[in-house]
Chain A
Amino acid sequence: MSDRLTQLQDAVDQLAHQMVATFYYVERHHGYEVLGPKDEVRDIQEDPKKKPIDDYPPEKFQEGILELARDLIVKEQQIEYLISSLPGLTNSERDQEQSIKDLEEELKVAEAQRLEAVEEKDEVLSKLDQVLRSVRRP
């Protein structure tokens, strides 16, 4: 799990990739259109491998486009969501420095308290030890 910024950058790259893939799909699988009364679709190449395009039936092509377009929009929404969840959007650099300093102070205090508690623990431990040693077996 990488940090948000890397995630975001990856998402942007993925969006770009999706765009390329979508472009390729449209370019490769579109059908022929007759634009004037004299136009006709000529398909000289019989070998399907040598055809300039691999045209899908219109319904299938439309479905594909719809799906790809939806994916693009979903990706874009993901990017926007990631942007809104970037850490510390509301903090300025000064705020950050201030909170780092505050935390440093608090850490020092907490460390002192911890050492105090550990000392007390050792004291009680030695006392308990003493008591246990002096216990007589019934």
Chain B
Amino acid sequence: MADQALESASSTFPDPPPFWRDFTTDKVERMESLRTRYADQTGLDSSTIIRVPDVPEDLVNLQPPAEPADGKWRLFGMELTLKDELQSLESGGVERLAPSEEELEGKHIDRAFVLKRLAKSLLLNFLELMGVMGIAPEQGADKIQDIRTLLLNLHHILNEYRPHQAREQLIALMQDQLDAKRAETAAVRAVVDKAKRVLEGLGSIELPADGSVSTPEIGARPINSVQAKNHGRVHDELRRARGRDAWGALDRDFS
């Protein structure tokens, strides 16, 4: 047992959780049947069901555990919450220097102003810090704390701004799509117009009435199958005759 513990402690990857033994074929099958029955009862699609309530004791490990009731859990020593939201400055133990999101009521111009003010304060505080350190270094810690608060506030406001930027990007993306679609439509229409003009141009060309331009024995295209056969025969004979002529000419040249 001690050896085993030692081995598992020194192995590169940790052992799988002990419940992997529960995934036997018949248990998986029973779980599957429970799932389909539950799907029939509730009228839901069986692929969308994640958890079936009230399963037998020996099958509990075959489905994912329920959501934590209080919406919190710990992972790798960090507390996580179901609702993924920005931690407020107050809960992080930082003094808030600017009006919060609710107080702003979507007036972002004010926010830009606040940000600029914070940036200027940062610079001023650094100057003050340098001064304080020159005269009374023991009071420098307070100033550093102030700068820290300023920096945290800046970052927090910027993070609060992110949803707004995301929407703004969505708008830009949609605008791009719209422009692309319109450009495509215009391009297609232009080509169609051109093709129509070509067709009209073709229609207006008058062929000479005596047919002097056409050479029916080769150029005539078959319209129906009978003609096609005839056409093919005529064509073949013609080709053979030409071939004979060519060979004759060659023979004459080389003799």
Instruction: Enumerate chain A interface residues (CB-CB to B < 8 A).
Output: 3-5, 8-9, 12, 15-16, 19, 22-23, 26, 72-73, 76, 79-80, 83-84, 86-94, 96-97, 99-100, 103-104, 106-107, 110-111, 113-114, 117-118, 120-121, 124-125, 127-128, 131, 134, 136-138
Nearest A-chain residue to B193, judged by Cβ: A124
CA distance A92 to B191 in the complex (A): 42
Bound CA span A12–B218, Å: 81
Chain B residue contacts of A118, Cβ below 8 A: 188
B27 at the interface (CB under 8 A from A): no
> Quick check: A110 and B178 within 8 Å, CB to CB?
yes
The yes or no answer to B174 lying at the interface (CB within 8 A) is yes
B250 to chain A, nearest CB (A): 28
Expressed in whole angstroms, the Cα–Cα distance for A117 and B192 within the complex equals: 8
From known contacts A80-B119, A106-B178, A107-B178, infer whether A124 and B196 are also in contact, taking CB-CB under 8 Å: yes
A99-B171, A137-B215 known; 15 new pairs, CB 8 Å cut-off, are A4-B165, A5-B158, A5-B165, A12-B158, A23-B130, A72-B123, A72-B126, A80-B119, A83-B112, A88-B165, A88-B168, A90-B109, A114-B184, A136-B221, A137-B219
Is there an interface contact between B108 and A136, defined as CB atoms closer than 8 Å?
Answer: no
Q: Is the interface of A mostly helix, strand, loop or mixed?
A: helix
Point out the residues of chain B lying under 8 angstroms from A121, CB to CB.
Answer: 188, 191-192
Given contacts A72-B123, A117-B188, A117-B192, contact A128 B199 (CB under 8 A): yes
Query: What's the minimum C-beta distance from A7 to chain B, rounded to whole angstroms?
Result: 10
| Distance from A76 Cβ to chain B, minimum over Cβ atoms (Å) | 5
Main secondary structure of the interface of B (DSSP, over half): helix
Stretch at the interface among B91-99, B147-155, B235-243: B147-155
Q: Which residues of A contact B215 (CB under 8 A)?
A: 137-138
A100 / chain B contacts, CB cutoff of 8 Å: 167, 170-171, 174
Please tell me if B182 contacts chain A, counting CB pairs below 8 Å: yes
Chain B residue numbers with a CB within 8 Å of A94 are 106
Can you name 8 A-B pairs with beta carbons within 8 Å? A23-B133, A76-B119, A88-B165, A89-B112, A92-B105, A106-B178, A124-B192, A124-B195
Q: Which residues from chain B contact A4 at a C-beta distance below 8 Å?
A: 165
Q: Could you tell me the distance between the alpha carbons of A113 and B115 in the complex, rounded to whole angstroms?
A: 45
9 interchain residue pairs of minimum CB distance: A92-B106, A88-B168, A137-B219, A103-B174, A87-B168, A110-B181, A117-B188, A96-B167, A138-B213
Distance in angstroms between the alpha carbons of A71 and B10 in the assembled complex: 51
Contacts of A5 in B (CB 8 A): 158, 161-162, 165
How many Å lie between the Cα of A97 and that of B163 in the bound state?
Answer: 12
> What chain A residues lie within 8 Å of B74 (beta carbons)?
none
In the complex, what residue of chain B is closest to A93 when comparing beta carbons? B106
